[in-house]
Structure 1
Amino acid sequence: MRYPLKLDVRPAKGAIASVLALHMLAGLALFHLSPPLPWVFAGATTVICASACYGLWQEAGKSHQVLLEHDGGVSIRLGGREFAARVSAGGAVDFGWAVWLSLHPAGGGDLPWRLRRLMLLPANLPAGHWRLFRIWLRHRATKAPAA
């Protein structure tokens, strides 16, 4: 495999649909099971709506370029800026259908807080890159950087 590997991360329509569906189900359950106290219903509805908005904002924010480096580093290009990062020790969980990454800044740089934890699905990556990403994660990202 040749590195660096450039990935154009994009929002996954399936993840957006599942966020909406789960929050609508929670809203319907609240509507049918809520006590007759209007302030409890209003508060719970506000929490559900805020949670749905946050989930949609997180998924919509997955519009950036990721460069997977040969040494296990990650370069993320977001809004005209580039951030260098590494996968934190023990900071990757791969279930096959989803990968959770915990990143930390590399080289004393900064890393926006919303890029410090990422959940990626196969639909977030270009066709054919999911397997390459998982191979890089297993064989490159877990290696200590060369000093």
Structure 2
Amino acid sequence: MRETRTWILLCEASRARLFTNDGRGRLTEHSAYAHPGSRVHGHDLVSDRPGRRSEAPGHHGGLSPDAEPREVEARHFAGSLAALLKQGLNSHAYDELVLAAPPHFLGLLRNALDSQVAARIAATFDKNLIALTPRELEQRIYAPAR
């Protein structure tokens, strides 16, 4: 019988860490990702002049007044992570997935996931666990419920 391979993605709006568990109980950090655009102050992400808008009926300009620049960057990063998870699933690198992120970013990530990837989610944690060591992460994720 084959062991269940699990990917564990810890993330926030500007960085992520991917761990693997080959089914034998120990976590290994597979890779780390950074998205510096999510750390930049909002005023540094936009130009000093507003974009052009068309006054034509039914035409919507390229700018969305509702989206803050940092939110746009966070959505881009969530999309990049979702693509990474899809690629991993397509290459049969994992059988199940565990996600941990602050609530807002976890929502962005879940919205960006392919339905096949979403079906592999075994657990989610709506907390920022990115700073945990592999040992602390094992204890947090695999500890029996109290």
Bin the TM-score by the shorter chain. Answer: under 0.3
TM-score by length of 2: 0.27
